[in-house]
Amino acid sequence: MPSRAEKLTRGRTSAGIVAQLLLTSAAMVGIDMSGRRVLVMGVTNKHSLGWAIAGRLIAAGATVGFTYQGERLKGSVEGLAEGLDDCPVLPCDVTVEEELSRVFAELGERWGSLDGIVHAIAFAPREAMLGRYVDTTSADWVTALTVSAYSLVAIARHAEPLMNEGAAMVTLTYYAAEKVVPKYNVMGVAKSALEASVRYLAYDLGPKGIRVNAVSAGPVKTVAARSIPGFMAMYAKVAEMAPLQRGVSHEEVGNLGLYLLSPLSSGTTGETVYVDSGYHVMGMQLPEE
Ligand code: NAP
């Protein structure tokens, strides 16, 4: 059966001409990231959302590199990177300025310039997510905000001299930045700071043609997610309440990351974009009739 666009093209109306254009250009739209170099920061294993985005970048032809925190993750990330062309795999604790300086100096020597950064990093001490938010200690607050939000600012500062016009940064956030999600506590506050930082960084870097956006993902099973108290209940709740009646896959998160790093999103910056089966649009759930 012919599509609506195909039926329209049969006429000589202006709608037919527009539809003809749409059909022609649709065949040509694709995401080609070949020749672009993207650093993905914060991969633990094949379940990491950083790896999900990296996978889509690689499929679109990009050259990727990785950073990981500490020796413990070296083997796992090197294993993932095996067989990839021109793929630096570097250690980097984002709370240590010297490590950030070393990573971007090494990338400058190896790649010369950068077209994208994926920031897939977050941490809060578990004690801070077990009890009440009101009991958060100053030390836990500083740790959560430093690792999960300030690190994006520090990375942007170190990366700026290497970033080409048209480059993009993408970070990962969660709905608890906007609304109360029980147990998320100080991590929700860190995600609010992260999303605000996305807007300020977009303003600072925009004149150089560098974009900064956040992917707000629904719950996906990863190491970090499973460490959140009550994560499996959150996971089930989304499938129950979201308009799509299911959770989101790693690949769907990866696709949004790819889009925000690619020229297809060239007019979008400072934005938090959701991939959560529509969960965040819901205001209330009623019992089934
Ligand atoms: P993940 O695989 O555990 O990735 C988190 C990464 O952050 C880990 O590699 C972790 O390393 C790294 N990290 C923590 N502290 C660091 C530091 N000081 N320096 C460098 N790296 C550090 O979990 P993920 O779920 O993919 O998390 C990626 C991002 O997605 C996070 O920002 C998370 O909040 C966000 N997100 C996740 C979900 C979800 O449901 N999974 C939903 C929305 C947003 P270690 O393993 O050594 O700690």
pLDDT, tens digit, 9 for 90 and up, residues 147-177: 999 999 999 999 999 999 999 999 999 999 9
pLDDT of residue 28: 67
The DSSP letter of residue 170 is: E
Is 220 near ligand 1, meaning CB less than 6 Å away? yes
Torsional class of 118: left (φ above 0), alpha (ψ -120 to 50), beta (otherwise): beta
217 lines ligand 1 (CB under 6 A): yes
Contact between residue 214 and residue 14 where contact means Cβ atoms under 8 Å apart: no
Q: How far apart are CA 143 and CA 133, in angstroms?
A: 15
pLDDT for 4 equals 44
Q: Is 40 in the pocket of ligand 1 (CB under 6 A)?
A: no
- Catalytic site residue 184? yes
Spans of the chain, pLDDT less than 50? 1, 3-5, 7-9, 11-12, 21
pLDDT at 27: 57
**Would you give the DSSP letter of residue 211?**
E
Decide: 172 and 215 in contact? Cβ < 8 Å.
yes
Q: CB–CB of 287/270 below 8 Å?
A: no
Task: Look up the pTM and report it.
Answer: 0.92
Q: Which of 71, 223, 274 to mutate to test the pocket of ligand 1 (most atoms within 8 A of CB)?
A: 223
CA-173 nearest atom, ligand 1: 44
Let me know if 174 is a catalytic residue.
Answer: yes
Name the packing angle between helices 185-205 and 151-159 (round to 10°): 20
In the beta sheet, which residues pair with residue 274? 216
Q: With beta carbons less than 8 A apart as the criterion, state whether 213 and 269 touch.
A: yes
The whole-angstrom separation of Cα 189 and Cα 192 is 5
Residues linked to residue 272 through DSSP beta bridges, in sequence order: 214
Selected catalytic residue, list 68, 175, 184, 274: 184
Closest residue by Cα to atom 28, ligand 1, is 120
**Ligand 1: does its nearest atom lie under 6 Å from the Cβ of 69?**
yes
